[in-house]
Amino acid sequence: MEERDREMPRAELIAKLSAVPGAAPVEERRDGLWMLAPQLDVEAMAREMVAIGCRLVTMTGLAQKNGETTIIYHYVRGHEVINFKTVTRNGAIPSLAPMLRPASWIEREIHDFFAVNFVGHPNLVPLLRPASLKDGFFRDPEPGSTVPEKQ
């Protein structure tokens, strides 16, 4: 049986998540496991999640007023939903795209919306952003009432 198909007791899963460099205590919520870890080593986290057979389903960006961006990494493993919440440092965070194909488009999208620099992304070009808008237009409180067509 492959590692990803093995039923893993929640306690064992939490222990593995807690061992990632920069980890914080894991919260057990109704919608899954959550870790709020500003100092999380996201590359080490991604390697560990691959090793235990977790699938990166998406990432969420949330603008902070100080110019940084909260990044949430959402994973699924069997019946478990695992969420790591961390934050950019000087507007940047390491890219997971070199090791995880599904990370590529979502990092490009977050770059479009919040101008996050995903360091090491092999192709950080716009994915959805119309050419007439600047990176990070989700941060602007009034970015315009209409979105022009992509050129």
- Chain residues binding other proteins by CB under 8 A are 4, 30-32, 55-58, 60-62, 72, 74, 76, 78-79, 81, 83, 100-102, 104-106, 113, 126-130, 138, 143, 147, 149-150
In terms of CB distance, is 21 or 51 closer to other proteins?
51
| Sequential DSSP letters for 127-139 | SS--TTS-TTTTT
d(CA 22, CA 39): 5
Give the 3-state secondary structure of residue 142.
coil
- The CB-of-90 to other proteins minimum distance in angstroms stands at 22
- The CB-of-126 to other proteins minimum distance in angstroms stands at 7
In terms of CB distance, is 53 or 94 closer to other proteins?
53
* Burial of residue 146, with CB atoms counted within 10 A of its CB: 0-12 exposed, 13-18 middle, 19 or more buried: exposed
In terms of CB distance, is 21 or 142 closer to other proteins?
142
d(CA 87, CA 70): 4
In terms of CB distance, is 19 or 101 closer to other proteins?
101
